Amino acid sequence: MPSDIEIAESVKLKPIAEVAAALGIDENALRSYGRYMAKVEPSGVGADAARRGKLILVTAINPTKSGEGKTTVSIGLADAMRRLGKNAALALREPSLGPVFGIKGGAAGGGYSQIAPMSEINLHFTGDFNAIEKANNLLCAAIDNNIFFNTDLNLDPGRVAFKRCTDMNDRALRNVDLRNADGAPIRRESFNITAASEIMAIFCLSKDFSDLKRRLREVVAGYDKQGNAVKCERLKCADAMAILLKDALKPNLVQTLEGTPAFVHGGPFANIAHGCNSIIATEEALRRADYAVTEAGFGADLGAEKFIDIKSRAGGFEVACAVLVATVKALKAHGGAERLEKEDLTALKKGMSNLLRHISNIKDVFGLPVVVALNYFSTDTEKEIDVVKIACRENGAEAVVSECFSKGGAGGVKLAERVLSIADGEKPAMKFCYELGDGYIEKLEKIAKKIYRADEILLSERAQTRLTEIENAGYTGLPVCVAKTQYSFSDNPEVGCAPTGFDFHINDIELRAGAGFVVALAGNMILMPALSRNPGYERMSISYDGVIRGLS
């Protein structure tokens, strides 16, 4: 099979104005970035603010090194819907340079199921991440400027609550000493990756520019020497930050290799952030199309939970059908198989427990109908596929083989037919995992016990202290965003399948007042990833005439 790049290069893309026209978007509402990418004026000419299509949420099992393919399935599913004559659009996240140059690679799909132009999307795209990073770091500069001049804000250097960010995996930035020009120490600093920054969360959860400005003003920069919270509005830089973000806040429009419109906007990670694309882009897809396909990052214990408990609350979204992506290879990996290309029914049956727990959570905790998309590999055997189908059927979900990678939308038609039959049926009564009125401990317990199946949650002394400070400052009733390993239901990345009999450890809690949630850091999670021993950039190349290889 040709490489992703070769496939993409063989396809003649449509001019972006033609893609926009398919959704009723007037060319005057576009700000083009070349022929194939554009920013869209939200709710432009022809949009009906009262109209919404049906929302399809694509999620997955806990990931393994073999890969699962949520984005590939999402793209292929939307392409397949359009092949069936449906008005469908995508709402996806933007790739971060961290995983692009690290271990995961790009996030534009693969094979015959890609969004394009892939290289541009995977790299700087329309500059949104740069704008988010600069807005974030402007506030950081303002904080240290106030400390330097000892202004009447009386900021305590030891209690700064807002961190710098950069869109790159860089372990050296996890702990940094800030010093004056004469070398005198100011304070300790630690960088987050841009995807895990509060400004990224604000960017993705804002409903419009007015809401963005409101949220920026609410960011807690730190505390004064009397212990009072100091908000961004008191540093007088919220409007300057909004200026940096005003163009970025408009959603980006691109297309799949088959010409399906795709809104690609915002890019938080689901393990260390809330893991969903922007509310503005999802809303635009729902207003413009009859079916909007979106994805939430990593496994359903992370991305789907946060989509429902955080994003759906903020945006008022209701999911018509959930699609749970799995592969035979990944399930065998969960079951302890060493040779994933070899038939291994024993390991597969053991690993099925991971898939079945996710099915149970989606159906029973969130009240959503679920279809399992079994992303096909050529090494899958009929016996293995039958094991998955039978187990899913016995647990109230149908498993449908998806061949989107090798066949594009044609390989997702059966999946699309099943998803449409559910989405067009009775409207599900979507439920939340917890109520906003619950205390933070109660919220964490409900997530840990209902979703992860932990016995108890254990808070470190630091986490307990932080939680008390947050509550005493009056920040109650906010959702909880758990930062934990994506590889396990537990806080231990080495424990696969569907573990039981474990406690869930919360080591720190951070307030994101502007984003409107608190972050609970579990296990050894930190908000700045690192490069692996053999990072992806080592396999990349660019020719003298500008042809890039190795991005996918």
C-alpha distances (whole Å) from 53 to each of 286, 287, 291 are 5, 6, 5
Write down the pLDDT at residue 180: 80
Residue 382: other Cβ atoms inside 10 A: 8
Q: Which residue has the tokens 């720190």?
A: 508
Residue 435: other Cβ atoms inside 10 A: 10
* Strand order across the 220-224 sheet: 155-160, 220-224, 229-231
Residue 413: other Cβ atoms inside 10 A: 21
Write down the pLDDT at residue 45: 32
Instruction: Compute CA 304 distance to the chain's CA centroid, rounded to the nearest angstrom.
Output: 9
Tokens of 438: 């619950």
Query: If we measure between CA atoms, which residue out of 479, 503, 501, 499 comes closest to residue 487?
Result: 499
Q: Of the CATH numbers 3.40.720.10, 3.40.50.300, 1.10.10.10, 3.55.50.30, which one belongs to the domain with range 4-127+248-423?
A: 3.40.50.300
Query: If we measure between CA atoms, which residue out of 272, 354, 185 comes closest to residue 523?
Result: 272
305 Cβ contact list (under 8 Å, min separation 6): 361, 433, 447, 451, 482
Helix axes 128-149, 238-245, angle to 10 degrees: 160
Write down the pLDDT at residue 102: 84
How many residues belong to the chain?
552
Tell me the β-bridge partners of 512.
517
Q: At the fourth CATH level, which superfamily is domain 440-522?
A: Formyltetrahydrofolate synthetase, domain 3 (3.10.410.10)
Instruction: Compute CA 318 distance to the chain's CA centroid, rounded to the nearest angstrom.
Output: 18
Where do the structural domains in the chain lie, given as residue ranges?
Answer: 4-127+248-423, 129-245, 440-522
Contact 453, 500 (CB under 8 A): yes
Q: Tell me if 4-127+248-423 shares its fold with 440-522.
A: no
Q: Which residue has the tokens 């808070």?
A: 459
Q: At the fourth CATH level, which superfamily is domain 129-245?
A: Domain 2, N(10)-formyltetrahydrofolate synthetase (3.30.1510.10)
Contact 2, 406 (CB under 8 A): no
Tokens of 125: 């795209």
Per-residue pLDDT of the chain (552 residues; tens, 9 = 90+): 777 777 877 889 999 999 999 999 999 999 999 999 999 998 743 445 567 899 999 999 999 987 789 999 999 999 999 999 999 999 999 999 988 888 766 788 999 999 999 999 999 999 999 999 999 999 999 999 999 999 999 999 999 999 999 999 999 999 998 988 777 788 889 999 999 999 999 999 999 999 999 999 999 999 999 999 999 999 999 999 999 999 999 999 999 999 999 999 999 999 999 999 999 999 999 999 999 999 999 999 999 999 999 999 999 999 999 999 999 999 999 999 989 999 999 999 999 999 999 999 999 999 999 999 999 999 999 999 999 999 999 999 999 999 999 999 999 999 999 999 999 999 999 999 999 999 999 999 999 999 999 999 999 999 999 999 999 999 999 999 999 999 999 999 999 899 999 999 999 999 999 999 999 999 999 999 898 888 888 888 988 988 888 877
Q: What's the rounded Cα separation, in Å, for the pair 283 and 316?
A: 10
Residue 352: other Cβ atoms inside 10 A: 24
Rg over alpha carbons for the chain, rounded to the nearest Å, is 23
Q: What's the rounded Cα separation, in Å, for the pair 77 and 402?
A: 9
Tokens of 477: 């009733």
Tokens of 231: 């908000």
Exposure string for 482-505, b = 16+ CB within 10 A, e = fewer = bbbbbbbbbbbbeebbbbeebebb
Residue type, 392: C
Q: What angle do CA 414, 416, 421 make, to 5 degrees?
A: 100
**pTM for this one?**
0.95
Instruction: Compute CA 442 distance to the chain's CA centroid, rounded to the nearest angstrom.
Output: 25
Tell me the β-bridge partners of 60.
325
